[in-house]
Structure 1
Amino acid sequence: MAGRVAAITGAFGVLGSAVARAAQAQGYWLALIDYAQDGPTTEGALALGGVDLTDAVQAGAAMDAVADRFGGIDALLNIAGGFAWETLQEGSIDRWPAMYRLNVLTAANASRAAIPHLKRSAAGRIVNVGSNAALKAGLGMGAYAAAKAGVHALTQALAEELKDEGVTVNAVLPSIIDTPANRADMPKADPAKWVAPDDLAAVILFLASEEARAVTGALVPVTGRV
């Protein structure tokens, strides 16, 4: 993958950072995009903090900045997203559009802005992060699961839209990711059964690779032993 350019959204988070480290080890040029102003970065990377990807204009400006810096974009890795647990009866109805904006709209805006650049790549790739929880939502997971189901639908629809353009679109569907926040929220759980960020990053980067040219529209479960 040496010399390919990857734009990673949500790049300053736990999973985004793991993906960035793995991509750098494979020789990618990196653009790290996040809503946070700053965060972990890697040598030679373009760091773009303070980008609100729910805003199509900001998403477009970010992708253009990546292409201007590196001469193009080969892979868009949509890691940006958000999670909230609350029941419908006791929670706020505002949580539903908030989850949609954080998970679906960010991926849609980033993808739409990156597509013209990806079409010029010899092997354009989009990889989204869905959720295994969206296949069967549990208690308190309604808003989050509905939003991630939207990511799944976006992935499949965009794969059809771009299948004749040389751009593949796929998604990973993790279960519980082993993060400090999840460990704090579930202190009695066994994190060894969860999905390590580095393991999920490996699947994401396979889908972004030239070797995955025959895979598009796939929703790939990455569930550990949950």
Structure 2
Amino acid sequence: MARSIIVTGGFGVLGQAVAEAFAAAGDRVARIDFSPEAPNAPGETPEGMLDIGGVDLTDAAATQRALDQVLGTHGGIDVLVNVAGGFSWEMLEGGAIATWGRMQAMNLLTAATITQLALPALKASAAGRIVNIGAGAAIKAGAGMGAYAASKSGVHRLTEALAEELGGTGVTVNAVLPSIIDTPTNRADMPGADFSAWVQPAAIARVIAFLASADGGAITGALVPVTRGG
């Protein structure tokens, strides 16, 4: 039976890979994104996908409207994958304090807001799954990574706390912690790097798909490193 999947940040490189992996398995996928338009050409939304753009996931009312659209179209929510987020490299000295708030909003508050609002539907599912995107860089932050790592560390703590909170339900909560993801933006920012050592979005998508599967149902509260190219 086809499941109802939500992928936040679904218009980005990783979000697209995750959404496509679930769609290829026959699931009904909703891609929710802050960007107003999906990356595919108008009228070419992949089969089985519902695209909802222009959603500020730190705004509870806007997020609830997006969830209502998913519920109205797909009839429920079985899996929530929180990909939405952002990155900033900035030293504290000479940097902007506002960057810390922006990273918290983009990486942590987006996940917390939609997860809280989606919980009733996820708990009503036969096997609800929540998968968050953490970061290997949040295990030990390097110079310039403070704001980003702090926000992703918050995602890790959200994952652990919510897994315990939902321990008496059928909902599991896990996070994947990628190292550097092979994206066009990262290649442009680090042209001298060894791209072969970076993690492919499709590899991350496969780990997420496993955690969201029936076979992954025994795992909850885990922070799973994803560090090989794939």
Q: TM-score, normalised by structure 2?
A: 0.95
* CA deviation map 1:177-209 (0-9, x unaligned): 000000001111111100000000100111111
Structure 2 alignment gaps of length 5 or more: none
Alpha-carbon distance in 2 for matches of 1:146, 1:54: 18
d(CA) in 2 for partners of 1:126, 1:62: 17
Moved more, 184-193 or 39-48: 39-48
Q: Does 1:48 align with 2:52?
A: yes
1:67 maps onto 2:74 in alignment:
no
Cα distance in 2 for residues equivalent to 1:65 and 1:160: 29
Q: Distance in 1 between matches of 2:87 and 2:66?
A: 24
Report the counterpart of residue 106 of structure 1 in structure 2: 110
Is 1:194 matched with 2:194?
Answer: no
Q: CA RMSD in A?
A: 0.9
Q: Which residue of 2 aligns with 1:24?
A: 23
| Cα distance in 2 between the residues matched to 1:121 and 1:210 | 13
Identical-pair percentage: 59
Deviation, 1:38, is: 1.1
Q: How many residues align?
A: 224
Scaled by the length of structure 1, what TM-score is found? Answer: 0.97
1:210 corresponds in structure 2 to: 214
How many Å separate the matches in 2 of 1:212 and 1:98?
33
Tell me the amino acid that sits aligned with residue 35 of structure 2: A
Amino acid at match of 2:203: D
1:44 shift after superposition: 2.5
**Structure 2 counterpart of 1:92, from 73, 81, 96:** 96
**Higher alpha-carbon deviation: 174-183 or 65-74:** 65-74
Q: How does 1:31-180 map to 2 (within 5 A)?
A: 31-39=30-38, 40=40, 41-180=45-184
3-state SS of the aligned residue for 2:72?
helix
Unaligned runs of 5+ in 1: none
